[in-house]
Amino acid sequence: MQKITTFLMFEGKAEEAMNYYMSLFNNSEVVNITHYGADMGEFEGKVIHATFTLNGQQFMCIDSTVKHKFTFTPSVSLYVTCESEEELDNAFEKLSQDGEVLMPLAAYPFSEKFAWVNDQFGVSWQLSFGKK
C-alpha cells in the first residue's frame, strides 16, 4: 500500500485534468470518484474527491469550493522517468500544449533527454529519459 499520495487541488477542473493525465500514460485508471450533487449549486458535478492512477502510481484530486490565493508552483513537480523516447516526446508535446516550457526538450548532463513544463492546469512536470 502506497503511504504517500500526491494530492492535486483544482478550482473546477479536477475531472478534466485527471482524464487528461490518464490519456498520457499507460496503465492509468479512475479508482473512485465522487461528485457534488444538485444541492451544491454552481459546484454540481464537480469533484468532491477522486483517486486515480497514472502508470500504476496513485494520485488524488478535488475541486475546491473555496477560492484560494495560491495555486500550483514549479517548486513542487511530478518527475516522470519515461520508458522510451517516444513516451517522453508524446508527454512533452501534450503537456506543453497550452502550457509553459520551463526547460526545453534537450540532452542535459543528468539526462539523455529531458524537459520541464507547466501544463495547462498549472501542474509542473519534469520528464526524463536515460541516465540520471
In order along its 132 residues, the chain shows pLDDT tens digits of: 668 999 999 999 999 999 999 999 999 999 999 999 999 888 999 999 999 999 999 999 999 999 999 999 999 999 999 999 999 999 999 999 999 999 999 999 999 999 999 999 999 999 999 766
Reduced 3-state DSSP string for 3-70: CCCEEEEECCCHHHHHHHHHHHCCCCEEEEEEECCHHHHHHCCCEEEEEEEECCEEEEEEECCCCCCC
Question: What does the buried/exposed string (b/e) look like for 26-39 if buried means 16 or more CB atoms within 10 Å of the residue's CB?
Answer: eebeeeeeebbeee
Question: What CA–CA distances, in Å, run from 86 to 42, 110, 130?
Answer: 40, 19, 12
Threshold 0.75, pTM exceeds = yes
